Amino acid sequence: MNIFIVKKSLILSLLVFLCSCVTASPCDDCWTPNFNFELEDRSFVETMTFISGHSYALSNSNDFLSKQGKANFFCKKGSISSKELIEILNEKLSGSVTAEQVSVTILIGLIEKHPCDSN
């Protein structure tokens, strides 16, 4: 996949997210991410971009492996949302954390939340 397309998709996702955060009237079903952790002294936008990148990459690799009939570390149909990843991270992390801790925690959380059949 062309890196330009990936970057463009991430930027577009971030812009949609940021625009939805500054709407004039709040909605009943809106979700505003909150973190129980601090990712290497990064800003809110930088942290969201990092997590969104994981969401995008995991969703695409999961879809690709599924279409190839290959096993993944976790078994989930459909995309993996940033919201789901933040919920996993908030359950397991607090305080200052590294990017490596976030990545490992996401993978472990997805394996626990979406285990594969042993068959």
pLDDT at 118 over 80: no
Residue 70, Cβ density class (10 Å: 0-12 exposed, 13-18 middle, ≥19 buried): exposed
Contacts of 107 (CB under 8 A, 6+ apart): 73, 74
Residue pair 36/90 in contact (Cβ under 8 Å)? The answer is yes
pLDDT in tens, 84-102: 999 999 999 999 999 999 9
Residue 105 carries which side chain, given as an amino acid letter?
A: T
> How much is the pTM?
0.74
* pLDDT band with cut points at 50, 70 and 90 for residue 72: confident
DSSP H stretches of helix in 1-94: 3-21, 44-68, 82-92
Residue partners of 102: CB distance under 8 A and separation at least 6:
37, 39, 50, 51, 54, 89, 93
